[in-house]
Amino acid sequence: MAQGADPATPHGLRALGPVGLVLAGGISVQFGGALAVSLMPRAGALGVVTLRLAVAALVLMVICRPKLRGHSRADWGTVVVFGITMAAMNGLFYQSVARIPLGPAVTLEVLGPLILSVVASRRAVNLVWAGLALGGVFLLAGGGGGFRSLDPAGVAFALAAGAMWAAYIVFSARTGRRFPQADGLALAMVVAAVLFLPLGLIESGGKLLDPTTIALGSAVAVLSSVLPYTLELLALRRLPASTFAVLMSLEPAVASVAGFLVLSQTLSLTEALAITLVIAASMGAVRTQVGRGRAKNVGQP
């Protein structure tokens, strides 16, 4: 087995490497987010979140079949906090995209992981990558001036979602270390679904039982929760939180590329420059991590 390989990670996914897992999860999230926005007129923002979490919890519990015995109080505490974090992150983000466009919402939300990368980093060079990514994020937002035309509540919800995203990164890593494979994620998803169910029922009621709504909600759950959360949890077993947080800055770039490929949306010169800055920051963070790992392995048999 290769040095540093995680035996709990399936072989096919292990071949992607931690960076590949994060990128695959990001692509899945963006397509799932676009589908979720189209579903909101049918089920409302809270209804979409309820469907997403409930279906994701069901799928993960069936696939993982996590053991309920043999866990310490600290293990369960971590799972509960992780579930609360996921519920809050999803609820706040969908409240945001119900008020402002998806691109600016993702751009604002990604500030949370970027701040985490600065706080968690123990190497000065990571501050450079975080600053470079932050510059790209603001270029995507029109140099910062674009935010003034957005709904203030939508901006506030996106920033709050970013804070929860940073907390999600921390507790996803802790959960991954305490539970095998995606067992902890499955249990945390149940916690999140139970917490959000009353809110979805109050807002949407019987609309959640419509077959088309259920089908679309299930697709959103797979694309936006099951796949990306599983991939990210596996990646965080092998990737520092600070590097993972900088990689999350790719989300606005992935959203822009998806808009070009799927919706034929063209990019301005400023947007292209912003994407270049964000990708450069992510590549720098990856190279720093790879170089650090090689240095640690020097002299090992």
Q: What is the pLDDT of residue 121?
A: 65
What pLDDT, in 10s, does the model give residues 138-175?
776 665 555 566 788 988 999 999 999 889 888 988 88
Q: What is the pLDDT of residue 245?
A: 65
Q: Does residue 60 have a pLDDT over 50?
A: yes
204-207, long-range: CB < 8 A, 24+ apart: 204/43, 204/44, 204/46, 204/47, 204/50, 207/42, 207/43, 207/44, 207/47
Q: What is the pLDDT of residue 300?
A: 38
Q: What is the pLDDT of residue 41?
A: 85
Q: Which residue has the higher pLDDT, 202 or 284?
A: 202
What pLDDT, in 10s, does the model give residues 31-53?
888 788 888 888 888 988 998 89
Q: What is the pLDDT of residue 296?
A: 47
Q: Which residue has the higher pLDDT, 254 or 258?
A: 254
Q: What is the pLDDT of residue 170?
A: 87
Q: Does residue 217 have a pLDDT over 80?
A: yes
Highest mean pLDDT out of 85-94, 227-236, 255-264, 266-275: 85-94
Neighbours of 256 (CB within 10 A): 22
Which pTM was predicted?
A: 0.74
